[in-house]
Structure 1
Amino acid sequence: MGLQTAREGEREKITQFSVYVENKAGRLLDLVRILTGGGVDIVGFTILDSIDAAVIRLVVDDPTNARSLLQEHTIAFNESTLVAVELPQSAEDLRKLLATLLQAEINIYFSYPLMTRPYGKAVLALRVEDDELATSVLIRNQFRVLSQKDISR
């Protein structure tokens, strides 16, 4: 498959769920059981914790089903979009990616790797200040930007 050249409006953005839970042992496992029990696979996550609460940011293969499961179990969450970009070969790709975004003056709020490798390459999920601009700039600079379809079953 070649590099993606589709316009941003034509691709399904990757949904990230930020789930709010008590900061107690076993809460991540509880969440994983709910989602996987409902047929949803987690493809990437990161945890931010404080003394009383934690935020579990996660990307799943089926956002529609995940949303329903979270609502059904009255789990507090919100949604945002991410840009997922493939890092084909080496640490040099990360440097090029960061330099490309800096040159376009696009701020990165946070990032984390995805556990899935849809095309056999490492994937980095990025929360940036402007998804559409970041996607356009990355594609112009020969990076493959993935859609929700790429990481779904």
Structure 2
Amino acid sequence: MTTGEGSGTKFETMRGRGYPTIRQFTVFLENRVGQLQEVVRRFEGTGIRVAAISINDSAECAFVRLVLSDYERGRELLERAGLAIIESDLLGVELPDSPQPILRVCTALLAAEINIIQAYPLLARIHGQPAMAIMVDNIDLATETLNAKGFRVLTEDDLRDDILE
């Protein structure tokens, strides 16, 4: 019986800092005053930054979507707090210096028949450029398409504080 040694196959997971996605946490909160502050305050003094945030609320609950500068430590904090969370992969994409940069991203994805499910801006300028987080229905094809069209797709490493300008 062999163990695959010498096969050239890398035993790495798709997740991790080099995979071309960023992690989003959807946190379910009771819709009452102060709930958002309680969640965001958990990152105070940890060195973890909220890199993007989107809030959808209804009469009963709120869905807070967060992208954090360190998703692994952020997940630990959210889990220790006992919060109900869901993790999802998003693409981070730098916006080009043009009059309608979001239109260029949408046009590139439309040409490949990729549907955008969610989109919101990243709060920090990554490498000095504005950027946005997008959830798409085919992340691999979207990554390939955006790269082919000359867009820079961001990774978890790009969200670290020492890279931001």
Normalising by structure 1, report the TM-score. 0.90
Equivalent positions of 1:1-153 (< 5 A) are 11-153=19-161
Following TM superposition, by how much is the alpha carbon of 1:112 offset from its aligned partner in structure 2, in angstroms? 0.1
Contact 2:50 2:67 in 1 (8 A): yes
Contact 2:24 2:66 in 1 (8 A): yes
Following TM superposition, by how much is the alpha carbon of 1:95 offset from its aligned partner in structure 2, in angstroms? 1.4
Q: Which has the larger Rg? A: 2
Following TM superposition, by how much is the alpha carbon of 1:12 offset from its aligned partner in structure 2, in angstroms? 4.6
Contact 2:121 2:132 in 1 (8 A): yes
Bigger drift between 28-37 and 102-111 goes to: 28-37
Deviations 1:3-34 (A, max 9, x none): xxxxxx65352000000001111111111101
Contact 1:40 1:62 in 2 (8 A): yes
| Partner Cα distance (1:89, 1:143) in 2 | 11
Contact 2:20 2:153 in 1 (8 A): no
Paired positions, count = 145
Structure 1 alignment gaps of length 5 or more: 1-8
Structure 2 alignment gaps of length 5 or more: 1-13
| Partner Cα distance (1:152, 1:58) in 2 | 15
* RMSD of equivalent CA atoms: 1.3
| Cα distance change, pair 37–74 in 1 and its aligned pair in 2 (3 A) | farther
| Partner Cα distance (1:94, 1:39) in 2 | 30
Identical-pair percentage:
38
Contact 1:22 1:52 in 2 (8 A): yes
Q: 4+ runs of 1 displaced by more than 3 Å? A: none
Deviations 1:60-117 (A, max 9, x none): 0011111111111101101000001111213422211111100100000010000011
Contact 2:114 2:138 in 1 (8 A): yes
